[in-house]
Structure formats: C-alpha cells, structure tokens
C-alpha cells in the first residue's frame, strides 16, 4: 500500500454531534448515507431525541453545477474524437494534432470560466457570488496548469522558442500587464504617463529584445559600468533590469503578480535561450526569491514547480489532491498518454494511471441523472477494467421512465451485455405487471428470454380471460411468432388465441383439432381444462359433426380425468357450494353433449363405411 500524502479532509455534517452520538452510514457507488444512531455497545444510555435527518454525502458535487455541465459535455466530444483518431496520429502530423486537441480543451475551460464569471457578477446572493468566484479561480488555475503542460510536454518547445511560449503563457494569464500596457500606450504622450517606467514592455518589444539580447546586454553592461545613467535613477534601474539583475527585478515586485511572472521576466533579461532542462533551477530559485521566506508555497505553486521539473506524475498527483473533481486529471492524463509520456507508469493495484483516473471520472458522471450517458464512453475506452465497471454502474441507474430504460437497454445491447439486458427487461416487466399492463410485461419478459416470468404473465392473461371473457393486447398475442416457444404456458396462450381466431373464421374442423391438441399435449394448465371443455360445447352442438368418435372419446377421457381429480369440499361455505353447483352443471352438460356427439359420430362414420 502507498502511504497517504496527508491527513484526509474532515467533513462536518451540520446537526450531527459525533462526540455524543454514534453514526451509521452506508456506501453507495457515488455517495454515502449518514445518520445518527442510538446504538451504544458500552453502556445503556437514556434515549434522547437526536438529529432526525438522513444526510447524503456526495464525492463529486461539481457534476451538479449547471455551468460545469457545459465543460463536461464539450470535453466529452473532444475526448471521444481523440480516441477515434488515434490510428491516424502518425509522423509529423501527430504532434500538431495533439497540440490542437490540447488547445480545444483549453478553449472549453476558458469559455466555461467566462460564463462562470458572468454568473458570479449576476448573483444576487453574496454567498453564491463568492462560490461562483471561487469556481472562476479554480478554472483559471486549471487553464494555467494545462497551458504550461502543453508547452513543456506536448509542444516540447526547444531552447529559444521555449521562452517565447512562456512569454505568451504569462501574458495570457497575467491580465495586469496587458491592461497597464493599454493604459500607457493609449495616452496622448506615453513617455509622460505616470506608469511608463513601470512597464516591462509590450509583446513586440519583448520579442525583438530576445532576438537582439546579446547586443543589448553588452551595451547595457558598458553603460552601467560607465555610470552613464547615474543622473537618472529610472534609466539606471531599467538598465539593471535589462541585465537581469535579481535585486533590481525584486524592487519592482509589486508589478509582478506572482513568482512565475517573475521567473519569465528574469529569464527574458538573463537567459532568453534557456534550455528546458535548466528551467527547474530557475523556477526553484525564482520561487524562493519571490516568496522570500515570508510565506509557504500554495498547492498551485507546487503543481507548477513539478511541471517545471518535468515530473509529470507529480503534476497529476498534486492536481488530484488539490482539485475538487477528476475532470482535469482524467483528460490531461489521457492526452499525455497519447503523447507516449506515461507508458512506463503502472499503478500497484493493476490498471495504469490513465485508466484509473478515467474510471474515477466516469464513476462520478454516473452519479448524475443525465451525465451518466457521457460516462459510458469513458468506460468504453478503458480496455482493462472499463467493461466490468460499466456493468456494475449501469445496473444501478434508476429506470424512472420507459424512455430512459430504452436508452440504457440500447447501450447494453450495443455492447452485448447479455446479463444486464436480461436484468433490465425483468425490472421493466415487473413494473408493467404491477401497473396491470400485461402486454408490456409479456413483451419485456420475451425480450429478457425469461421463461419463468413469461409463464407468470401468461397465467395472468389466462386468468383475465376467465374473468372477462376476452383477451387484451390481441396484436401482441397474435404476432408472438417463434417467441411463443419460450415457455409451455406462452405456447398455450398463443395457440389458445389461435383457436379463437380460427373459430371466429368459422373453420370449425381446424378449431376442433387445435382445441383437442391443447387438451392432449399436456401444455394446458389443468386449472384451464374446464374452460377448454366449455369452449368445445358449441362445436359439439353444431348441426354438422365436428369431432370424430375417436376425438370425442379423448374429450371424455379428459373430462373424467378432471372430475376424478377434483377435491371434495366440506363445510357450510355458501360461495363454495354455489361454485360446486355451477361446476356440476357444466360437467353434466358436457357429458350430455359428448354422449350425443359420440352417437352422431358413430352413426355418421358407420354410414360412411357402409357406403
């Protein structure tokens, strides 16, 4: 086991006094239920009223933010697109394609940050405004880190162009420089502006300065040694800055918003062709000089320092600890993995770092009622544990509506998740039965290939027929096709409905043969035999002989088997007595009809033989 990097964050639950009362909890896939309990195993304490609430503690609350949902949705498309073009990423185009993907991610972060800023301004509640402003700061830090990783790890800028990229990086993320430049250069006489001497220069001047640095450096050094600017402190200070003098730069500390602004400024004037491998030394000394021992580095400082040290794994680790959700580390790690920078790093418990972070992020998405659909694709692109994780999470999706259930079912069928398909169909079939929607229930049980449940629903259909005298959902039953072979009871239901259809078409001979086969094949439930024999009565009473003598004997045998096996009821139950009288009357009518039909059939068959 790896050791923890620090103590876990303590989450205080309002209204719960954990010192006086014990708490019970239950883990879920994305949240935990917490409540107080009166259980005390040490001593019997007096039962006193405590906190009456059950709290839900979620680990990924950011998925419920309306603004951040745009971040999740937009980045999902970029992520899927990157996985699909992986095979096309070859040769020189690979690097440019990956840089383009990285810029797309950053543009989504920036758009989300700008929208969150507008929401913070428009917030009427001060607490909400502070919360949104905090989110803006987090998004800004995320883009700052991502941009630096893009420069160092994805573009892999060499000495020379590296500083130009870092200048753009600082300029993009330090707004004060641009606003100050705009104020000075926009005035009537820039050199007379009160902030003129506070300007480090605009971008174009910095670029030219980098190209001619060596010449300027020598010139400035000579002027400084000759005390050329001794009479003008501003010019002398500027000369020292152009020489990269650390003390002179730190005198202007209030103009530098942070240590990495100081770092880039220092490199510009002291070593504009810095090599990537030397960045870490300049970064560490700049951090120490800028903080001056007055304060400790913030988490953001540690992340940026790890990036300057080219320690990718430390960057990911620090971001995982500092940020409130897995979005950033999951997508950055995936992109770096496509850059072939994480191939050698496997976690001690199996899956590699990329897959582990994607699984965590996707699990968080599944806690949301609609974002779970995005999580499916992230699981798909985790080759080792993705399918197993998807199976576990998809079973826990609440199927509130049939439309949502069909969505989940389609996802499972596309991935040939047979067990999950069967489970979902069973759940929907049960719901349909509870709502007395037998047609829907039968359809789902057939789709689930669940013979036992199909039998149960078929029994309900037959019971309803006995009570009402007609079938519901005729279209479904008439078009069962090969599906009726799923269970004997379903076969009987389909064939019994076919008997009614054939009888309705006045094809009495076919109807009689079908009815007799249902009786003699043993697929009809014994409880339904009396109904089948009763259905035979109209055929027995037809003017034309429908049942042959042999068929009539078979019907008689069925009737005797039924009556001989009937239980004898004792006792004064009036309802039972009435039911028995009705059954007795039916049996007598059937015996009479069968005897009459047998006589007619024998005479008819004898006449045919004689002729």
> Residues 319-339: pLDDT tens digits?
998 888 899 999 999 999 988
Give residue 148's pLDDT. Answer: 94
Give residue 307's pLDDT. Answer: 94
* Domain assignment of residue 187, yes or no: no
Q: 126, 120, 82: which is closest to 104 by C-alpha?
A: 82
Residues 516 and 498 reside in one and the same domain: no
Is the pLDDT assigned to residue 156 strictly greater than 60? yes
* Domain assignment of residue 601, yes or no: yes
The runs of H, that is alpha helices, within 123-160 are 126-149
Give residue 566's pLDDT. Answer: 57
Tokens of 135: 């989110």
Give residue 30's pLDDT. Answer: 56
* Among 283, 310, 337, residue at a domain's last position: 310
Is the pLDDT assigned to residue 15 strictly greater than 60? yes
Kindly indicate the confidence band of residue 192, based on its pLDDT and cuts at 50, 70 and 90: low
* Domain assignment of residue 317, yes or no: no
Give residue 44's pLDDT. Answer: 52
| C-alpha–C-alpha distance, residues 245 and 484, integer Å | 89
The predicted-structure confidence for 195-234, as pLDDT tens digits, reads as follows 544 444 444 444 554 566 667 677 776 766 666 666 677 7
Is the pLDDT assigned to residue 425 strictly greater than 80? yes
Give residue 196's pLDDT. Answer: 44
Count Cβ atoms within 10 A of the Cβ of residue 469 and give its class: 0-12 exposed, 13-18 middle, 19 or more buried: exposed
Which is higher by pLDDT, 360 or 348?
Answer: 360
Residues 453 and 589 reside in one and the same domain: no
Give residue 109's pLDDT. Answer: 93
Model pTM? 0.73
Residues 295 and 164 reside in one and the same domain: yes
Kindly indicate the confidence band of residue 48, based on its pLDDT and cuts at 50, 70 and 90: low
What residues contact 23, with CB distance under 8 A and at least 6 apart?
Answer: 16, 34, 35, 36, 37
Residues 120 and 78 reside in one and the same domain: yes
| C-alpha–C-alpha distance, residues 590 and 500, integer Å | 19
Residues 231 and 163 reside in one and the same domain: yes
Residues 459 and 423 reside in one and the same domain: yes
Give residue 477's pLDDT. Answer: 67
What residues contact 88, with CB distance under 8 A and at least 6 apart?
Answer: 97
Lowest mean pLDDT among 208-222, 243-257, 302-316, 481-495: 208-222
Residue with structure tokens 């009160």? Answer: 194
Asked if 197 contacts 238 with a C-beta cutoff of 8 angstroms, the reply is yes
| C-alpha–C-alpha distance, residues 475 and 463, integer Å | 18
Boundaries of domain holding 295: 158-177+208-310
Asked if 299 contacts 142 with a C-beta cutoff of 8 angstroms, the reply is no
* Among 59, 77, 94, residue at a domain's last position: 59
Residues 294 and 167 reside in one and the same domain: yes
Kindly indicate the confidence band of residue 380, based on its pLDDT and cuts at 50, 70 and 90: very high
Residues 163 and 263 reside in one and the same domain: yes
Is the pLDDT assigned to residue 249 strictly greater than 90? no
Residues 68 and 52 reside in one and the same domain: no
| C-alpha–C-alpha distance, residues 314 and 469, integer Å | 75
Number of domains in the chain: 5
* Domain assignment of residue 199, yes or no: no
* Domain assignment of residue 196, yes or no: no
The runs of H, that is alpha helices, within 323-436 are 327-338, 353-365, 372-380, 386-394, 402-414, 418-434
* Domain assignment of residue 403, yes or no: no
Which is higher by pLDDT, 399 or 358?
Answer: 358
| C-alpha–C-alpha distance, residues 336 and 348, integer Å | 20
The predicted-structure confidence for 16-47, as pLDDT tens digits, reads as follows 666 666 777 665 555 667 777 766 555 555 55
* Among 310, 344, 373, residue at a domain's last position: 310
Residues 374 and 484 reside in one and the same domain: no
Residues 275 and 347 reside in one and the same domain: no
CA neighbours within 13 Å on the CB side: how many for 379? 23
Average pLDDT over residues 523-541: 78
* Domain assignment of residue 460, yes or no: yes
* Domain assignment of residue 80, yes or no: yes
Residues 16 and 90 reside in one and the same domain: no
């Amino acid at each position: 086991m790896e050791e923890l990097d620090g103590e876990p964050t303590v989450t205080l639950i309002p209204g719960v006094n954990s010192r006086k009362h014990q708490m019970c909890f239950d883990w879920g896939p994305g949240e935990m239920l917490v409540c107080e309990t009166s259980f005390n195993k040490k001593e019997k304490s007096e039962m006193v009223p405590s906190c009456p609430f059950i709290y839900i503690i979620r680990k990924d609350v950011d998925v419920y933010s309306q603004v951040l949902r745009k971040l999740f949705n937009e980045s999902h498309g970029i992520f899927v697109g990157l996985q699909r073009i992986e095979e096309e990423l070859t040769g020189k185009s690979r690097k440019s394609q990956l840089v383009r993907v990285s810029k797309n991610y950053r543009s989504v972060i920036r758009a989300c940050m700008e929208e969150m800023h507008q929401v913070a301004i428009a917030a009427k509640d001060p607490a909400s405004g502070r919360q949104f402003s905090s989110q803006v700061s987090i998004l800004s830090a995320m883009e700052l880190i991502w941009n630096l990783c893009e420069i160092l790890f994805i573009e892999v800028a060499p000495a020379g162009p590296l500083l130009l990229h870092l200048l753009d990086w600082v300029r993009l993320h330090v707004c004060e420089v641009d606003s100050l430049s705009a104020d000075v250069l926009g005035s009537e006489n820039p050199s007379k502006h009160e902030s003129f001497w506070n300007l480090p220069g605009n971008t174009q001047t910095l670029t030219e300065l980098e190209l001619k640095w060596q010449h300027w450096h020598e010139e400035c050094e000579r002027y400084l040694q000759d005390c050329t600017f001794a009479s003008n402190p501003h010019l002398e200070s500027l000369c020292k800055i152009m020489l990269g003098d650390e003390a002179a730069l730190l005198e202007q500390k209030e103009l530098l918003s942070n240590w990495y602004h100081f770092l880039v400024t220092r490199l510009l004037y002291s070593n504009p062709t810095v090599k990537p491998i030397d960045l870490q030394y300049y970064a560490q000394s700049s951090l120490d000089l800028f903080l001056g021992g007055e304060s400790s580095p913030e988490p953001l400082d540690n992340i940026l320092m790890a990036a300057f040290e080219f320690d990718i794994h430390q960057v990911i680790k620090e971001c995982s600890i500092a940020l409130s959700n897995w979005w950033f580390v999951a997508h950055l790690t995936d992109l770096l993995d496509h850059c072939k920078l994480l191939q050698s790093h496997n976690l001690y418990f199996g899956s590699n770092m990329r897959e582990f972070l994607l699984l965590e992020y996707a699990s968080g998405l599944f806690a949301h009622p609609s974002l779970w659909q995005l999580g499916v694709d992230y699981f798909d692109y985790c080759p080792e544990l993705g399918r197993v994780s998807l199976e576990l999470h998809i079973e826990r999706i609440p199927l509130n509506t049939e439309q949502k259930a069909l969505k989940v079912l389609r996802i499972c069928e596309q991935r040939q998740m047979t067990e999950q398909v069967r489970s979902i169909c069973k759940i929907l079939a049960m719901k349909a039965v509870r709502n007395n929607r037998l047609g829907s229930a039968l359809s789902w049980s057939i789709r689930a290939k669940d013979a036992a449940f199909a039998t149960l629903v078929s029994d309900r259909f037959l019971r309803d027929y006995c009570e009402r005298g007609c079938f519901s959902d005729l279209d479904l039953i008439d078009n069962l096709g090969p599906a009726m072979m799923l269970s004997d009871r379903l076969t009987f239901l389909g064939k019994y409905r076919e008997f009614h259809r054939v009888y309705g078409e006045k094809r009495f001979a076919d109807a009689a043969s079908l009815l007799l086969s249902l009786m003699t094949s043993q697929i009809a439930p014994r409880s339904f035999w009396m109904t089948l024999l009763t259905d035979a009565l109209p055929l027995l009473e037809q003017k034309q002989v429908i049942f042959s003598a042999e068929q009539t004997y078979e019907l008689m045998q069925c009737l005797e088997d039924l009556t001989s096996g009937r239980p004898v009821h004792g006792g004064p139950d009036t309802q039972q007595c009435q039911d028995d009288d009705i059954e007795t009357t039916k049996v007598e009518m059937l015996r009479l009809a069968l005897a009459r039909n047998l006589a007619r059939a024998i005479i008819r068959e004898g006449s045919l033989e004689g002729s």
